[in-house]
Amino acid sequence: MIFIDKTKEIPIWQKSNLTVEEAAVYSGKGVNKIRQLSDNEDCEFVLWVGSKRLIKRRLFDTYIERQYSI
């Protein structure tokens, strides 16, 4: 059996999925703006786990790079 040490935190830039709060810190955008962007049904960078909203970091980066303004 493999035990994982939960005291070691993975850096945000190495995570594949981020919480909305982590995405806000990572991108410098506000929590409310990220929620607003990811509310759209066709949003490509959001992953729903039940009612929990996770942000797919790489797709979020790509989305932000392609935008002129948000």
Q: What is the pLDDT of residues 7-43, one digit of tens each?
A: 678 888 889 999 999 999 999 999 999 999 999 889 9
Contact 52, 17 (CB under 8 A): no
First CA to last CA distance, the chain: 47
Report the predicted TM-score, pTM, of the whole model to 2 decimal places: 0.82
The two tokens of residue 70 are: 């948000």
Kindly report, residue by residue over 42-55, the tens digit of the pLDDT.
999 999 999 999 99
Residues with Cβ within 8 Å of 1's Cβ and at least 6 positions away in sequence, in order, are: none
